[in-house]
Chain A
Amino acid sequence: MSPDVARTPLHALHLRHGGRMVPFAGYAMPVQYPAGLLKEHLHTRAQAGLFDVSHMGQIRLTPRSGDLDDAARALETLLPIDVLGLKPGRQRYGLLLDGSGGIRDDLMVAHCGDSLFLVVNAANKAADEAYLRAHLSDICEVTVLARALVALQGPGAEEVLARLAPEVAEMRFMDVRMLGLLGTSAIVTRSGYTGEDGFEISVPEDRAEALAEALLSDPAVLPIGLGARDSLRLEAGLCLHGNDIDPGTDPVEAGLSWAIPKVRRRGGARAGGFPGAGRILDALEAGPARRRVGLAPDGPTPVRAGAPLFADETGAAVGQVTSGGFGPSLQAPIAMGYLPAALAAPGTRVFAEVRGKRLAVTVAGLPFVPAGFKRT
């Protein structure tokens, strides 16, 4: 592996647990451990899995005025979401848009009382930091946090984490809390990227290994690599930026309109005022020309990212697969991609080309596997 590949604070732990390291977004990351991708995936759905996501960007926005509403209003100029209405202790999903409404990145925004805490994608974190600094520095101090981030995901996650911090049992989906955890100050959100209940836990870099080993010492917890992280999120119907969403896709066609609340739409109190607003607000009313859909191949052949999609067995391509592989929980191939709106209804039969052959694929509702979030 190239020497300019960065290491997360859990690098030694990955090696100790037999992780097979691969370069990903500039970091050496474990793609799988000795248990293997299938077992790691199924274990996360059945009990709990621990993921190192320290490669992701953690950014704090602190209002220079001391009034968090100032930071919220400033961030709303970049995101089509309701940041002002975000209550202390709550987190929301958001999209950084460019001037034509394309998706620069997707991220989480948490209200931590005196500051906003953002978690952004690893591959975009340098660009996001520069963009936030350029647009928000007058109003906010923009700080990139040197902290580790781990995700504990699965139906057993609450019980495992509550042994270290009982108060996590009171949290519900998309809550954020500052907690004392093994003698250090942790930022804990009840969220994740697997479709399961679970937590993301931010701690100082030098405390990450002790936390991860404490969690892994629980027999319910296995370390999980990037391979299973991808198959879990695909089954959960969650987008991977760079694959399923990117600057060439907008939130409406990506099926992410739910992330744009009424208050930012036409007729709302703070309608528009974000990059690409004209185009996005038009698209919300007119409906998109194409849509992101789930795809279930009729046969056993996996259909992977990049495969062209066809309305029939002879015509020209009408769309493309953006993520695809095998769903271990379904024991069947699954994929996501874009199709013209007229072909996007679940149950519609289309074709995907794999190794020169057109294979029948049925449009499926998302997610493929029901979410296990603790909403109440």
Chain B
Amino acid sequence: MRKFTDEHEWLDCAGDVATVGITTHAAEQLGDLVFIELPKVGAKLTKGEAAAVVESVKAASDVYAPVSGEVTEVNEAAVADPSSVGADPQGAGWLYRIRLDDPASLDGLMDEAAYAEFAK
């Protein structure tokens, strides 16, 4: 089930691995993306630290780790073509996958309806 954070990220969890991306709302606010920097596979992330950077023409924005864990895969296609994240942020434009230190860390996150309300 897809979860959302108040930092405008989404997570899809399969077993103990979550796929992470930015929300459609976040992508619209950022505007055309021209550069993306992702964590290295194997990197250990702590919840709240800057895990990735997405840059528009105007500005660079940090994407914070929504949970703690180890990066297992990154979306190289998004790095090669940053516009693909803006085109499909909640699908093909995912950013990275992370093995959760604690699967219960998703419990406090929002579901889609709660996020839609939050992002209004």
Contacts and interface: CB of A to CB of B under 8 A. Distances in A.
Interface of A: 31-32, 36-39, 41, 227-228, 230-231, 300-302, 304, 325-326, 328, 333, 355
A227 B59 CA distance: 10
Interface stretch (B29-37, B67-75, B100-108, B109-117): B29-37
Contacts of A302: 34-35, 55, 60
A304 B32 CA distance: 17
26 contacts: A31-B58, A32-B31, A36-B31, A37-B31, A37-B56, A37-B57, A38-B32, A38-B34, A38-B57, A39-B32, A227-B31, A230-B58, A231-B57, A231-B58, A301-B35, A301-B37, A302-B35, A302-B55, A302-B60, A304-B59, A325-B57, A325-B58, A326-B55, A326-B57, A328-B57, A333-B35
A264 B53 CA distance: 49
A228 B34 CA distance: 14
Given A301-B35, A325-B57, A328-B57, 14 more contacts: A31-B58, A32-B31, A37-B31, A38-B32, A39-B32, A227-B31, A228-B57, A231-B57, A304-B59, A304-B60, A325-B58, A326-B34, A326-B57, A355-B37
Interface size class of B (residues with CB under 8 A): 10 to 19
Contacts of A31: 58
A31 B31 CA distance: 11
B90 to A, nearest CB: 19
Interface string B19-39: 000000000000110110100
B87 to A, nearest CB: 12
**In the complex, which of the residues B31, B57, B60 has the most CB atoms of chain A within 10 Å of its own CB atom?**
B57
Nearest to A227: B58
A326 B35 contact: yes
A302 B31 CA distance: 16
A65 B61 CA distance: 56
A31 B59 CA distance: 12
Nearest to A325: B57
Nearest to B29: A20
A226 B71 CA distance: 38
Please give me the 9 A-B residue pairs with the lowest Cβ-Cβ distance, nearest first.
A38-B32, A326-B34, A326-B57, A37-B57, A36-B32, A231-B57, A227-B58, A302-B55, A325-B57
Contacts of B35: 300-302, 326, 333
B22 to A, nearest CB: 16
A274 B56 CA distance: 42
A355 B57 contact: no
Contacts of A230: 58
A205 to B, nearest CB: 29
B94 to A, nearest CB: 20
Contacts of A39: 32
Contacts of A227: 31, 57-58
A230 B59 CA distance: 12
A38 B55 CA distance: 13
Contacts of A328: 57
A37 B60 CA distance: 15
A231 B31 CA distance: 14
A117 B109 CA distance: 58
Interface string B36-65: 010000000000000001011111100000
Nearest to B83: A38
Contacts of B53: 355
B11 to A, nearest CB: 24
B56 to A, nearest CB: 7
A41 B56 CA distance: 13
A328 B32 CA distance: 10
Nearest to A300: B35
Nearest to B82: A300
A37 B32 contact: yes
B60 to A, nearest CB: 6
A82 to B, nearest CB: 37
B77 to A, nearest CB: 15
B52 to A, nearest CB: 11
Contacts of A228: 57
